Amino acid sequence: MSADITLPAGAPEEVVTNALVRDIDLAAFGGKGSMALITLDNGHDHNRPNTFGPQSVKALDAAITDAIARKPAAIAITGKPFIFAAGADLSALSFLSERSQSLAIGKLGHDVFRRLGESSIPTFAFINGLALGGGLEVGLHCHYRTVASTAFTALPEVFLGLVPGWGGATILPKLIGPERAVQVIILNALNNNTMMKAKDALKLGVVDAMFEPADFLERSIGFAVNVLNGTNKIERADYSNDPAWESALATGKAAALKKYGGAQIAAPTKALELIAAARTNTLGEGFDAEDQVLADLTMSDPLRASLYAFNLIQKKRKKVEGAPKPALARKVTKVGVVGAGLMASQLALLMVRNLKCPVVMTDIDQARADKGVAWVHNELAKLVEKKKMSPESAGRLSLLVSGSADQSVFAGCDFVIEAIFEELSLKQELFKKLETIISPECVLATNTSSLSVERMTEGLKNPERVIGFHFFNPVAVMPLLEVARTSTTDDATTATAIAVGKELKKTMIICKDAPGFVVNRLLTRFMGEVTDAVDEGTSPAIADAAMMEIGFPMSPFQLLDLVGPGVALHVSETLHKNLGARYRISPTMQRMVKEGVRNFYIKGEDGSVGANPAALALIEKGSTPSTAEQVRARALKALAEEARMMLDEGVVTTAAEIDLCMLMGAGWPMHLGGILPYLDREGISQSVTGKRFHEKGVASLPA
């Protein structure tokens, strides 16, 4: 056993997961003797999953000792209702200041978990619910595993900047082979932390049997009895000579490079090294290697950054900074969507799927309204085809969506959102007309990306019920929602908007009604520096790749292609008008819009992607080119300058909210943490603004 481990100073107190042992008489299941069943339970409801901190691991160690002393025919481990275990308690990691502390925690987990694998008594994991990271690794150490059909499992460590360091990186390749191990450890983790459904875990060989939750424990004990009496023989393959090792590792490496824009990031690189070593390493050698890698990663800034970002996202999903009391929110039983184009149709689909109330769409004629409704119906049908929705549910939701050319259908709505053309006068005119139709309590929301919400309220009788409700495209995928209050927006309107946003499962920030809100203001400033560099004579290839080495998944011009030059130009013109000359209008962008060139990159006949000759022909021919380093430096300095202005202006109240917006709305890389801690670590904050955005130790090693 490892030496005693105490939490570092300042770390939150561990919520201990107890390990309770009871005897199960196997005679009732047709077996002989007894089973010592260990149940993991932290004493909280399922909203607080079981986790493993040092004391929890020691509690499991004591339970294993107790179980062995009972001389059972088998030992099994399961979890409290709905939860097996959600992995290591990561809350203390950012407080570690010595590598030896990290090494001790890794060794403690291995020393205890491996007792299950090295036991002469057969061991079983009955995975009755969520099993992530160290939770799944406990199960992997056992000789056999069952899973409830409703359970989800995953090894998400690489997503967080870690590796599966309590046995997963060594055991899994030996258990299911290199290709499937790379799928679980690398590909799933990098694909926004995709979890395995129970049937997927069974198909991959991660578990040996799957049972329905109603009688899961009884069926699992029956499975164990059949293994013990030889009725059920579980065969294990030897993958050491599998010819797929090299190709599997190459697939994992390619996926990591693509995810991080060609940058070589430590976590996936080290995980792949551990997977490769598992081919020839003994379990003990593999566990020792995991300890060393885990200790190195834990004492690195990228992990601190990832944990900061992860914890920030988790916290802000639950609580919106500055939100009024939820009790002030009005009930929303009918929603109106003004517009039936693609954005409006996406909003209608999101609303009907989550609010499950009538949604009415309007456009300038019935044909366009019908087209929007048809799009929603078609998307619901696709969900049925993909088995993500039952035909009955899709049918019910389809009946709730209707379209009209007559805006009087908004009478009776509690919440109306507009997604019409980005022209202030049109939106002002619209809101004045809607006021004659809807009740004074109905919320009027705008999905504008850059226009003044306050100016939309001019001349209204009830300006207090107008609010910015800015989604990001694609609506169903992008998690961020910017809620913009004007100087007159009241608490009831804001509370209602926040309640709707929560129903839509969005992560929200409340911001001041300021040009571009948060994400578009920062992104446009950042993009402007890159396009300026190109206009000045920098090679587009050099300028576009300038940020890739730090791990951006998408280059500036790829992002431009995603939002479209027309939208990008409109936003930059709006910000130029409202915020001044630092938001310059790119002549290249103007030409692209004028000539109808919509993409900087195009796909060739052979499938390869390259610069669009039509776009290249429109680039301003400057004579003062920059290097990639110069482009990157000016872009990052601009971000620091703009972020400081936004905080000084009160666009948001905290630096963490800017970090959240860039993580959730702009794809700022998780391994860099928030944008502002990154600028702090690189010394850019201080050089540009004279001070840091965060205290020392935020998203980096303690000072």
Q: Residue 497 has which token pair?
A: 């908007």
Q: Of 239, 230, 228, whose CA–CA distance to 205 is shortest?
A: 239
Judged by DSSP in three states, 472 sits in coil
Is residue 422 annotated as a catalytic residue, yes or no?
no
| Under 8 Å between Cβ of 42 and 17 | yes
Chain position carrying tokens 């109106």: 336
> Can you tell me the distance from the alpha carbon of 581 to that of 70, in angstroms, rounded to the nearest whole number?
78
Neighbours of 45 (CB within 10 A): 11
- Pairing between β-strand 123-127 and β-strand 196-197 as defined by DSSP bridges: unpaired
The Cα–Cα gap between 72 and 65 comes to 12
Using CA atoms, how far residue 646 sits from 117, 373, 392, 509, 515, in Å, is 55, 39, 48, 14, 10
Looking at this protein, which amino acid is placed at residue 196?
M
**CA 114 – CA 112 distance, rounded (Å):** 6
d(CA 231, CA 224): 10
Q: Dihedral sign, CA of 258, 263, 267, 272?
A: positive
Q: Is 635 exposed, middle or buried (0-12, 13-18, 19+ CB in 10 A)?
A: buried
Helix or strand (DSSP H, E) at 103? helix 99-117
**Residue tagged active-site, from 137, 482, 529, 657:** 137
Query: Could you tell me which of 270, 292, 263, 276 has the C-alpha nearest to residue 671?
Result: 263
| Lookup: tokens for 645 | 């202005």
Cβ pair 206, 172 in contact under 8 A: yes
The answer to whether residue 157 is catalytic is yes
Sign of CA dihedral 94, 100, 101, 102: positive
**Residue 32, Cα to own-chain centre: how many angstroms?**
47
Q: Which is the catalytic residue, given 13, 157, 423, 682?
A: 157
Residue with tokens 């009790």: 327
Tokens of 27: 């005679």
Structural tokens at position 149: 């059909």
Q: What is the DSSP code (8-state) at residue 124?
A: E
Q: Which residue has the tokens 């995991």?
A: 290
Cα of first residue to Cα of last residue in the chain, in angstroms, is: 31
φ, ψ of residue 522 to 5 degrees: the values are -70, -45
SS3 at position 255:
helix
Rg (CA), the chain: 28
Q: How far is CA 77 from the centre of its chain?
A: 30
- Other beta carbons within 10 angstroms of residue 429's beta carbon come to 13
Annotated catalytic residues are 137, 157
